[in-house]
Amino acid sequence: MLKEIARQGNAKQQQCAWESLTMSEQIRGQRLALTMISSIGSTATGTRRRTVYDAGNVYNLPGRLVRSEGSPKSRDRTVNEAYAGAGITYDLFKKVFARNSIDDRGMRLDSTVHYGKDYDNAFWNGQQMVYGDGDGELFNRFTIAIDVIAHELTHGVTQYEAGLEYQDQAGAMNESLSDVFGSLVKQYRRGQEAKDANWLIGERLFTKNVNGKGLRSMKEPGTAYDDPVLGRDPQPGHMKDYVKTREDNGGVHINSGIPNRAFYETAVRLGGHAWDKAGQIWYVALRDKLRPRSNFEDTAGLMMAVAGELYGAGSLEQKAVKDGWAEVGLKI
């Protein structure tokens, strides 16, 4: 409710709601509170504000400022990729979903590149995006994949909205939303329709030494790679194959295959650009309906409700959402 006011109210109402949100978050947890406070200097004008830092291959954040909004290109392509990727992600959220940055208040998009030595990951640390160079043997630099950049940035959006816990099904939903908007950013940049996209996450991230197409496949979870060193892609694409594990926070990067495929199935049924209808439904669910502990079944039901609100009860859109989730074993 406070979030709604902070979004829709007049200037004074927004300010009050925002202060309340910040205060309650302060009580609930330092990390989120800090992020919210840091974004108070946000602009409501709806312009991009990007900064890129270089950690110089150590593990300290944020590192040295190397590029900020409007400044010329760097000689370092990694810096330019982080900058451009944040820009396209901002654009999708702004133009398609009318969202002004991660916090919807124009928050600055901070990225650090060259984090650590041969670091094989990228992450959102609660305040900024962080990218490793990869080890060069198995992984290339993480900024090479625009959907990985958008994935990390979407973790920020989820933190401010649904606040999904990073554990078990809620955590896998959190992961899946990052893949969904990651993939949408890639498709948006390419101007692709749902049927023409390859639905891979992290294409080009693996070096030639790896037998794999990417990190994950939203269309066919479990088929992204099969490699002597990395093993086989462990993602299920149906509830009957749900993986019960204590690793990976209860398999957040594993079971995300199930909601990922539900999105793919919904998007291809609806046709056209995936961000237009399927993306709209997923976004409104993320913004207004999902809660920290929402599981897959909850999410499917809430998305049905959103589709009904946006397109009408019994609409083709609502039926596509229902069928999309049914395809992965979740009957609504």
Active site (annotated) includes residue 152: yes
By the 10 Å C-beta count (0-12 exposed, 13-18 middle, 19+ buried), 30 is classed as exposed
* 165 counts as binding ligand ASN under rule CB under 6 A: no
Q: Out of 122, 149, 172, 218, which residue is the one contacting ligand ASN (CB under 6 A)?
A: 122
* 152 counts as binding ligand ASN under rule CB under 6 A: yes
Active site (annotated) includes residue 253: yes
Q: Give CA torsion, residues 320, 298, 258, 252, to 10 deg.
A: 150
In the numeric block, the tokens 């998009």 are attached to 109
**Residue 256: Cβ within 10 Å count:** 28
121 binds, among Zn ion, ligand ASN, none (CB under 5 to 8 A by kind): ligand ASN
CB of 206 or CB of 311, closer to ligand ASN = 206
> Which residue of the set 25, 81, 114, 152 is catalytic?
152
Angle 64-178-150 (CA atoms, 0-180°, nearest 5)?
A: 40
Shortest Cβ contact with Zn ion: which residue? 178
22 three-class SS: helix
Please list, in sequence order, all residues whose beta carbon lies within 8 angstroms of the beta carbon of residue 163, skipping any fewer than 6 positions away: 32, 291, 292
Tell me the closest approach of the beta carbon of residue 79 to ligand ASN, in angstroms.
19
Select from 37, 61, 65 the least CA-distant residue to 51.
65
- Helices assigned H by DSSP within 136-241: 146-160, 168-190
Q: Tell me the two tokens of residue 200.
A: 């891979």
Give, as ranges, the residues between 167 and 196 that touch ligand ASN (CB under 6 A): 175
* 121 counts as binding ligand ASN under rule CB under 6 A: yes
67 three-class SS: strand
Tell me the closest approach of the beta carbon of residue 115 to Zn ion, in angstroms.
16
CB of 156 or CB of 212, closer to Zn ion = 156
Tell me the closest approach of the beta carbon of residue 248 to ligand ASN, in angstroms.
8
Using CB under 6 A as the binding criterion, the count of chain residues that bind ligand ASN stands at: 7
The span of 32-40, 82-90, 98-106, 119-127 binding ligand ASN (CB under 6 A) equals 119-127
Active site residues: 152, 253
Return residues touching ligand ASN (CB under 6 A). 121-123, 151-152, 155, 175
